[in-house]
């Protein structure tokens, strides 16, 4: 029985269409190279069924295998357009929230007021 997760079940129609379109583009590139599904799966070191799931736009497809397929077609740079960084922000910026609760064993200012 296939594994189902909430993230797959709750995927919006826009997500489904985008992944399906990506699969069709990968398929078109494979056909343009005159490679069979078997040859393409061999080049990606995955099973034919895994590769077929990428071409059919299944949400459970591996991003790593998709990235390798784009590399084989000389299109790995196209991933740079995915989720561009917001202006004045780097991917190394960390978000930290103030800890509202005092640490265990610590006495807050309110508790010190007897």
pLDDT digits (tens, 9 = 90+) for 28-59: 999 999 999 999 999 999 999 999 999 999 98
- Enumerate domains of the chain plus CATH numbers: 10-75 (1.10.260.40)
Structure-token match 């790995």, residue found: 76
What pLDDT is recorded for position 34? 93
d(CA 43, CA 25): 18
For the CA atoms of 55, 59, 65, 70, the dihedral, rounded to the nearest 10 degrees, stands at 60
Res 89: pLDDT: 63
Q: Is the pTM of this model over 0.75?
A: no
In the chain, where does DSSP find H-type helix? 6-9, 13-32, 37-44, 48-55, 63-72, 109-112
CA count, 13 A, side-chain hemisphere, 63 = 2
């Amino acid at each position: 029985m296939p594994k189902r997760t909430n993230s797959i079940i709750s995927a919006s129609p826009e997500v489904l269409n985008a992944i399906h379109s990506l699969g069709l583009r990968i398929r078109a590139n494979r056909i343009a190279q005159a490679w069979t599904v078997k040859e393409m799966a061999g080049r990606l070191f995955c099973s034919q069924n895994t590769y077929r799931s990428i071409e059919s736009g299944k949400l459970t497809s591996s991003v790593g295998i998709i990235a390798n397929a784009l590399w084989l077609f000389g299109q790995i740079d196209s991933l740079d357009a995915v989720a561009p960084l917001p202006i004045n922000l780097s991917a190394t910026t960390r978000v930290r929230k103030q800890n509202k609760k005092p640490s265990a064993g610590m006495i807050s200012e309110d508790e010190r007021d007897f």
